Structure 1
Amino acid sequence: MALPIPSLRVAREQNHLAWDPEIPPVASIGSGEVVEFDCLDASNGQLTAESTTQSLADLDFARVDQVSGPIEVDGAEPGDTLQIDLLEFEPAGWGWTASIAGFGLLAEDFPDGFYKVTRFDPSSGSAEFWPGIILPLAPFCGELGVAPATGPLSTIPPDLHGGNMDTRHLVAGSTLFLPVFHAGARFSVGDGHATQGDGEVSGTAIETPMRARIRLTVRKDVHVTGPEFLAAADPHAAMRNGARYATDGIGPDLMQAARDAVRRMIEWLGREHGLDPMQAYLLCSVAIDLRISEIVDVPNFVVTAYCPLGLFA
């Protein structure tokens, strides 16, 4: 089925670095219209396919996680819901993954930075991350949001308005619902990911510039108080939900249990597949899924890290 022609294109220069209702819209559209966004990567173009680990030292964090927009949707009023139909995500032919000092689930284990570039053909549907380790591409945008009730807010943590949710299930074919806090909703999007694991544990996915086509519709018959979504069927479900190796983290603190699960997965990836700790950590960020397995048997809870065995050629 042919995709609808966008009524508006948002250039990559039309972006902003905070969620703030005071930021004026770059354009207005009618409810139900399609917008095409040309988004830079999460570094705001500071990192490229030629960058190296040394480039991380010059990264200006005040410029990261910019979002394209905002777009005003005619008729949207506080109390309404904005329906966001994710029609298409087209990544560039390259992306970067990093461990950045002081950031990530295991920041204390990996104090030194590391930068990795992955090149791929977007039409192939896959990318070789490490030799013999093939990842299925599942592009999406980590940042999707509307103007918050109050601001300015950083674009790095998510909130009830959406923002940096980094939810890998929001791929093309999915529909996101966000509460409207201000007239026009003022929608923005960014932070393209070619693929990611549940958790994005190093703090990065395969970060890539992204072209996104999105339909924005005002819903006055639906009321949500925070992000909700209808997830499209996973095109790689047979692989991601097939045979998997899993490691558990168990204890009274979910964050610590998550760390323990990932640490055990890193150990297994080294033991069974010869990856060094940094290679394994970055693979966990882009391909391993963290899940809460048990949250009722107090005082201890279980977080599980799942590695699809189909990744290994």
Structure 2
Amino acid sequence: MTHHILKATKETVHLGGFSDLLKPALFIDSYDTIDIETYTGYYVYDKAPAAFLTPEFIDICQNLPPERKVSTGPHLLTGPIYIRDAQPGDVLEVQLESISPRLPIGFNAIRPGWGALPQQFTQPALRFIYLDLENNFAAFPLGTNIKIPLTPFFGILGVATPENARNSIPPGAYGGNIDNRQLQAGSKLFLPVFVPGGLFSIGDGHSAQGDGEVNVTAIETSMNGRIKLILHKDLQLKNPIAETPTDFMTMGFAETLDEALELALKNMIYFLQSFAKLSPEDAYVLCSLAVNFHITQVVNSPHKGVHGMLSKSILPNINLG
């Protein structure tokens, strides 16, 4: 096992999407750990206060090579990371060991035509929000006594697919823009592998977000993390599943919330069949008795997200890894 440090530079990040044609930013072996840097705010850096900017981030925004601009999504991602011996059909386990804001400031933006209420909130709006990292909260609106606890996570954790210019906005079976606030430090995400090397990328740091992410953005924050990547040859997955310190979690992504719920439910039934050895009918009943389904996000067009959570105390002997 080797430990790596992956800095975010114009050579190690990419913009707007995923591609299996990108030059990897790092080559690793299974079980290696990585201290990783991410930046956010590529399209708002010229409006940002000094606290939001670093020389490296400005260099990325001003000099990112054309070949690192993949598609039209707004996200700046670090990677891709090539995992040696990873092949289509394998499963990549992403262990999130630590996650922390790089800078004491983030932003929130309303984009016309996006969000849960695009007809009501039609004007663009950009707010930079300062973070009290010592006391672990953000005061918003400024000047009030409303304090939002910081619960940092990465909105995007995903692998490449043979589609070589996949936009970073919609999530899918490859992970991507999941925007799931449950994936905090101590959690694990399991992703199907679609191309040789896996080509895993990470970014879209959020310091705080409500389920739904209703106005399109959270507190978008440049983020540091430590991750461990583990390759599984003996697991089979068609869709991501996750494990938090307290719960097992399945996900569904679709154009409507009804369809996303149906997929999250079907994925939980599949999980219970595969790992708890339940019959489909028993699994369906257990989902009705013990699984809590939540709206993940409603804004990553064209896919909304739903996730189902099952307490690990109900299945104490299950080990995904």
For 1:229, give the aligned amino acid. Answer: A
Greater Cα shift, 29-38 or 144-153: 144-153
The whole-number CA distance in structure 2 between the counterparts of 1:164 and 1:7 is: 24
Label 1:32 to 1:45 Cα distance change in 2 as closer, same or farther (>3 A): farther
The whole-number CA distance in structure 2 between the counterparts of 1:71 and 1:99 is: 31
The whole-number CA distance in structure 2 between the counterparts of 1:137 and 1:69 is: 25
Deviation at 1:70, TM superposition (A): 0.3
Alignment pair present for 1:69 and 2:79: yes
Deviation at 1:204, TM superposition (A): 0.3
For 1:15, give the aligned amino acid. Answer: V
The whole-number CA distance in structure 2 between the counterparts of 1:225 and 1:103 is: 29
Aligned to 1:226: 239
**Does the 8 Å CA contact 2:73/2:168 hold for their aligned counterparts?**
no
Deviation at 1:162, TM superposition (A): 0.8
Residue of structure 2 aligned with 1:83, choices 80, 83, 93:
93
Greater Cα shift, 114-123 or 167-176: 114-123
Alignment pair present for 1:119 and 2:130: yes
Instruction: Provide, for residues 121-143 of structure 1, a one-character-per-residue CA deviation record: whole Å limited to 9, x for no partner.
Output: 22322111121211111001101
The whole-number CA distance in structure 2 between the counterparts of 1:128 and 1:152 is: 38
**Could you state the TM-score of these two structures normalised by the residue count of structure 2?**
0.66
**Does the 8 Å CA contact 1:88/1:212 hold for their aligned counterparts?**
yes
Consecutive aligned runs of 4 or more in structure 1 exceeding 3 Å deviation: 42-45
**Could you state the TM-score of these two structures normalised by the residue count of structure 1?**
0.67
The whole-number CA distance in structure 2 between the counterparts of 1:31 and 1:104 is: 38
Instruction: Provide, for residues 73-117 of structure 1, a one-character-per-residue CA deviation record: whole Å limited to 9, x for no partner.
Output: 112111110000001111121111121212211111100122222
The whole-number CA distance in structure 1 between the counterparts of 2:87 and 2:121 is: 46
For 1:132, give the aligned amino acid. Answer: N
**Does the 8 Å CA contact 2:8/2:39 hold for their aligned counterparts?**
no
Deviation at 1:20, TM superposition (A): 1.2
Label 1:96 to 1:47 Cα distance change in 2 as closer, same or farther (>3 A): farther
Aligned to 1:7: 4
The whole-number CA distance in structure 1 between the counterparts of 2:163 and 2:72 is: 20
Alignment pair present for 1:194 and 2:200: no
Label 1:96 to 1:37 Cα distance change in 2 as closer, same or farther (>3 A): same
The whole-number CA distance in structure 2 between the counterparts of 1:213 and 1:47 is: 29
Alignment pair present for 1:97 and 2:96: no
**Does the 8 Å CA contact 1:169/1:232 hold for their aligned counterparts?**
no
Label 1:206 to 1:48 Cα distance change in 2 as closer, same or farther (>3 A): farther
Deviation at 1:149, TM superposition (A): 3.6
For 1:89, give the aligned amino acid. Answer: I
**Does the 8 Å CA contact 1:85/1:216 hold for their aligned counterparts?**
yes
Aligned to 1:184: 197
The whole-number CA distance in structure 2 between the counterparts of 1:86 and 1:291 is: 21
The whole-number CA distance in structure 2 between the counterparts of 1:88 and 1:164 is: 19
**Does the 8 Å CA contact 1:171/1:232 hold for their aligned counterparts?**
no
Deviation at 1:49, TM superposition (A): 4.3
Structure 1: where are the runs of 5+ without partners? 52-60, 235-252, 256-289, 293-302, 304-313
Instruction: Provide, for residues 232-259 of structure 1, a one-character-per-residue CA deviation record: whole Å limited to 9, x for no partner.
Output: 349xxxxxxxxxxxxxxxxxx858xxxx
The 3-state SS of whatever aligns with 2:157 is strand
For 2:85, give the aligned amino acid. Answer: G
Aligned to 2:49: 50
**Does the 8 Å CA contact 2:72/2:167 hold for their aligned counterparts?**
no
**Does the 8 Å CA contact 1:90/1:122 hold for their aligned counterparts?**
no
For 1:142, give the aligned amino acid. Answer: G
Deviation at 1:291, TM superposition (A): 4.1
**Does the 8 Å CA contact 1:12/1:37 hold for their aligned counterparts?**
no
The whole-number CA distance in structure 2 between the counterparts of 1:162 and 1:187 is: 10
Deviation at 1:10, TM superposition (A): 3.2
For 2:124, give the aligned amino acid. Answer: G
Deviation at 1:37, TM superposition (A): 1.8
Q: Over the residues paired in the alignment, what is the CA RMSD in angstroms?
A: 2.6
Instruction: Provide, for residues 286-311 of structure 1, a one-character-per-residue CA deviation record: whole Å limited to 9, x for no partner.
Output: xxxx946xxxxxxxxxx9xxxxxxxx
For 1:98, give the aligned amino acid. Answer: A
**Does the 8 Å CA contact 1:12/1:40 hold for their aligned counterparts?**
no
Aligned to 1:31: 30
**Does the 8 Å CA contact 1:30/1:73 hold for their aligned counterparts?**
yes
The whole-number CA distance in structure 1 between the counterparts of 2:138 and 2:43 is: 23
**Does the 8 Å CA contact 1:144/1:188 hold for their aligned counterparts?**
yes
For 1:81, give the aligned amino acid. Answer: V
